[in-house]
Structure 1
Amino acid sequence: MRLVVGVSGGSGMPYALSVLRALHRLGAETHLVVSSGAKRVMTLEGGPKLGDLTDLAHTVYDDRDLGASIASGSYRTAGMLVVPCSAGTLAKIAHGFADNLLSRAAHVTLKERRRLVLLTREDPLPRPMLQNMLLAHDAGATLMSASPGFYHAPDTVEELLYFVTVRALDQFGLEAGGFRRWGEA
């Protein structure tokens, strides 16, 4: 499976790392674009480093490269996951403002009617963000919040992150494994 992974400037870089690790284990062909805002957040939060993410991707793009393959609808992918999806990136996607490669790739994903999953992490949700969520939803995106469940009795932060990763990858029909689902022994 060829999947585009966008990382925007929202807090929550460990989610991006968890997703990329799972996709790597699954053998998915990942095409990664990291926004300048994400790079800044990485340095401020002290979490995963850029190299931690890029080492797991098959292809890494510069967010300023609007001529990259993932900027074209003729480049076939199974879809795109934006993790984390900042409020600013959500607004760009919701309004079709494709001024960088991440938002352009999301625009292409929507126009080609491919699966686009936006994993937001901000709280509380102000009215403009709620409206942008509805616009993105109505355009065809799936919106998810980085809100882990607890019924699988997690013992570590990584298990909480993985819960969200598994649910996000479910949207693409990928079985990440290593996770007890509701109702399973």
Structure 2
Amino acid sequence: MEYMTKVNRKRLVIGMSGASGAPLGIELLKIVREHPEWETHLVISKGAEETIIQETAYEPREVMNLADKAYSIKDIGASIASGTFKTEGMIIVPCSMKTVAGIVCGYSDNLLLRAADVTIKERRNLVIVARECPLSTIHLRNMLSLSELGATIMPPMITYYNKPTSMEDLNRHIIGKILDRFGIQVNGFRRWGEISTG
């Protein structure tokens, strides 16, 4: 495979906030690493750091090392905080309701919120993997507002038509749907119509 230079690689911003679902963010980072034409820029909230420790065998620093570049949540002057830094868009996985509320209100007091704000104002692809259950009226209104602004709201719903046999199958199907928004193929992602239902 031809080596891709940093000049012609596509940039994808990935945020992880403090909701359950850290394994999804980690697995997504691993899968994007399999595509040398893509470059990942990661920002992890303090809440996400705690969730990573609670839900996985990883330390936050190990997760940061899965990205091409990782930033401090406090680094509001980082490259991904500017619209002139060209990216293909942003995925927040998992995305807490606090983060959803912050984005809706334009309350960009940290780098994750600022990067999302930039993604919206530049009309780039923003995928919100919202994680909460049950959803309150406040949550639903905030997500409706984000959808009206052009974001894709993609809660990590379990799918059964692909007949999953493991947690890995469940995670890979969700990640396949997320990355499909950016044209990134995921090995093992099984689409409807490609699956025998007999």
TM-score using structure 1 length: 0.96
Moved more, 175-184 or 92-101: 175-184
Question: Distance between the aligned counterparts of 1:149 and 1:25, measured in 2?
Answer: 24
Question: Distance between the aligned counterparts of 1:48 and 1:145, measured in 2?
Answer: 23
In structure 2, stretches of 5+ residues that fail to align are 1-9
User: Aligned to 2:154, what secondary structure does the other structure show?
Assistant: strand
TM-score using structure 2 length: 0.90
Match of 2:147 in 1: 137
Match of 1:158 among 161, 168, 172: 168
Higher RCO structure (Cα 8 Å, ≥6 apart)? 1
Question: Distance between the aligned counterparts of 1:108 and 1:126, measured in 2?
Answer: 27
Check if 1:63 corresponds to 2:73: yes
Question: Distance between the aligned counterparts of 1:76 and 1:158, measured in 2?
Answer: 32
User: Aligned to 2:13, what secondary structure does the other structure show?
Assistant: strand
Question: Distance between the aligned counterparts of 1:58 and 1:21, measured in 2?
Answer: 11
Match of 2:117 in 1: 107
Match of 2:130 in 1: 120
The runs of at least 4 aligned residues of structure 1 exceeding 4 Å deviation read none
Contact 2:15 2:112 in 1 (8 A): yes
Check if 1:23 corresponds to 2:36: no
Contact 1:2 1:30 in 2 (8 A): yes
Between Structure 1 and Structure 2, the one with more helix by share is 1
Q: Which letter does structure 2 place at the counterpart of 1:6?
A: G
Question: Distance between the aligned counterparts of 2:95 and 2:45, measured in 1?
Answer: 10
Contact 1:14 1:48 in 2 (8 A): no
In structure 1, stretches of 5+ residues that fail to align are none
Match of 1:174 in 2: 184
